[in-house]
Amino acid sequence: MVDFAKPVDAEDSVISNMGAMCAYSGEKTGRTPKDKRIVEEETTKDKVWWGDVNIPLSEESFAKNRARGVDYINTRRKIYIFDGYAGWDPKYRIKVAFYLFLSL
């Protein structure tokens, strides 16, 4: 069971009528399109519309960035992991994982 007490105390968080916690990030939400990278390899090279928004990343660059991320995670004293879903409908939802270094 998730304890929503702390986040709901914040001015920018509420519990929806369906029981989900909603947190508002303010004026600047989401990522900028030019920050997005997709690994260009056999399964993506002919299926992605490459351009200003879908910028290709080599498998080598991905491996280097992943290694840096893993190294960083390994320097943390504690890590909190949430495995869940994005989306309510099982037909369309996707698995997501959040790795946090601070607990709520």
Relative to beta strand 94-100, strand 21-23 is: unpaired
The highest-level CATH class for domain 31-100 is: alpha beta
Q: Is the pLDDT of residue 60 over 90?
A: yes
Can you tell me the mean pLDDT for 20-43? 78
Give the pLDDT confidence score for residue 58 in this predicted structure: 96
For the chain, the first-to-last Cα distance in angstroms comes to: 13
- Which comes out higher in pLDDT, residue 6 or 36? 36
What is d(CA 34, CA 5) in angstroms, rounded to the nearest whole number? 36
Give the pLDDT confidence score for residue 2 in this predicted structure: 55
User: Highest-confidence range of 23-32, 38-47, 93-102, by mean pLDDT?
Assistant: 38-47
What is d(CA 100, CA 63) in angstroms, rounded to the nearest whole number? 21
Give the pLDDT confidence score for residue 68 in this predicted structure: 96
Can you tell me the mean pLDDT for 22-47? 81
Q: Is the pLDDT of residue 54 over 80?
A: yes
**Intervals of CATH 3.40.449.10 along the chain:** 31-100
Can you tell me the mean pLDDT for 50-58? 91
Report yes or no on whether pTM surpasses 0.85.
no
